[in-house]
Amino acid sequence: MLCGALLSAHELFVESDRGLAKQKKVKVVFVIGGPGSGKGTQCQRIAQQFGYTHLSVGELLRQEINSGSETGSMIHSIMKEGKLVPSDVTVRLLQQAMQGIDNDKFLIDGFPRNEENVKTFENLTKMEPEFVLYLDCPQDEMERRLLSRNEGREDDNIDTIRKRFKVFMESTLPAVEYYESKGKIRKVDAGKSIDDVFESIKAIFSQGKDNNKPANLQLVAAGPSSAYGSHGASLLSLLPTPIAGHEPAFKVHSWRLAEKQRPTLDQPYLEHT
């Protein structure tokens, strides 16, 4: 249900094939990087290996241009200048695309491009990303890649490419900083080969998977005066950080020194939930 708080796993209403509304929990990962940093290339691989639906926002905008709509012609004039399409237009296209797909994991490629995009996405969807993958690539390498991309894109010419780099530095990097301050940025060196970049990315996505699994933790039994209490605290710091939106794998039993309650095998300090 929609509510004021931002949720990582969000209940999105989707139309089922019987036309009835059903609720589903949706996980979103944003992929940010300069033009030509390899977002599309890596997203295809991530989607295939980790079961995400890949949505390229640039591609959704190009589809709108091809539809011949009035909105499409407005988008066209903005894109050929390398500027950014107004956030409400972009986010609504994105929402529509997500609602038509029966998957609960989305990889959003090339979004957000600025802080206004971030706020509009949060306001309209009441969601925030699980994390943000940031492909960090040197500008001369991105320029080389774009000039040989050969997809017939009107904006892949040197003048528009340079304007897009400027927009990236001035508008997109502040959005990266915003997510950095929230601890959500996962940065990879995207200047390496396609395979090497994917190796770094795989480690990030696999780490998320491992954190969801309950750890196989043995109870530490200890006798009186064996400093169990202080070790118990450090034990906690070794546990995987719970992922937002998921129940923690353990619950912690409190014990009170004043009452000389020590954890025992009957009353363990940590227990699987």
Ligand X SMILES: Nc1ncnc2c1ncn2[C@@H]1O[C@H](COP(=O)(O)OP(=O)(O)O)[C@@H](O)[C@H]1O
Ligand Y SMILES: O=c1ccn([C@@H]2O[C@H](COP(=O)(O)OP(=O)(O)O)[C@@H](O)[C@H]2O)c(=O)[nH]1
The least distance separating ligand X from the CB of residue 239, rounded to whole angstroms, comes to 35
- Ligand-binding site membership of 112 (annotated): yes
CA angle 169, 138, 46 (to 5 degrees): 95
Q: H-helix or E-strand containing 271?
A: strand 270-272
- Ligand-binding site membership of 145 (annotated): no
The least distance separating ligand Y from the CB of residue 155, rounded to whole angstroms, comes to 6
- Ligand-binding site membership of 100 (annotated): no
Q: Which is nearer to ligand X, 190 or 270 (CB)?
A: 190
Residue 41: which of ligand Y, ligand X, none does it interact with, CB under 5 to 8 A by kind? ligand X
Q: Which is nearer to ligand X, 121 or 134 (CB)?
A: 134
**Residue 31: partners with Cβ closer than 8 Å, 6 or more residues away:** 39, 42, 43, 46, 107, 108, 109, 110, 132, 133, 135
Q: Which is nearer to ligand X, 40 or 232 (CB)?
A: 40
Q: Which residues pair with 250 in a beta bridge?
A: 272
DSSP per-residue string spanning 20-70? -EEEEEEEEEEEEE-TTSSHHHHHHHHHHHH-PEEEEHHHHHHHHHHTT-H
Within 10 angstroms of residue 105's Cβ, the number of other Cβ atoms is: 15
Q: How far does the chain reach from its first CA to its final CA, in angstroms? A: 25
- Ligand-binding site membership of 62 (annotated): yes
Residue 232: which of ligand X, ligand Y, none does it interact with, CB under 5 to 8 A by kind? none
> In terms of residues, how long is the chain?
273
The least distance separating ligand X from the CB of residue 173, rounded to whole angstroms, comes to 15
**CA distance linking residue 146 with residue 132, whole number of Å:** 23
Radius of gyration of the chain (CA): 23
- Ligand-binding site membership of 25 (annotated): no
- Ligand-binding site membership of 41 (annotated): yes
Residue 169: which of ligand X, ligand Y, none does it interact with, CB under 5 to 8 A by kind? none
Residue 149: which of ligand Y, ligand X, none does it interact with, CB under 5 to 8 A by kind? ligand X
Which residues lie near ligand X (CB under 6 A)?
33, 35-41, 145, 149, 193-194, 197
Tell me the residue number closest to ligand Y, measured at CB.
58
Phi and psi at residue 243, to the nearest 5°: -80, 135
Residue 113: which of ligand Y, ligand X, none does it interact with, CB under 5 to 8 A by kind? ligand Y
Q: Write the DSSP symbol of residue 7.
A: B
The least distance separating ligand X from the CB of residue 180, rounded to whole angstroms, comes to 20
The residue whose two tokens read 């972009």 is 90
The least distance separating ligand Y from the CB of residue 264, rounded to whole angstroms, comes to 56
The residue whose two tokens read 């190796």 is 199
3-state secondary structure of 163: helix
Q: Which is nearer to ligand X, 41 or 53 (CB)?
A: 41
Which residues lie near ligand Y (CB under 6 A)?
35-36, 39, 56-58, 61, 78-79, 82-85, 90, 110-111, 113, 117, 155, 164
- Ligand-binding site membership of 250 (annotated): no
Binding residues for a ribonucleoside 5'-phosphate: 62, 83-85, 110-113, 153, 164
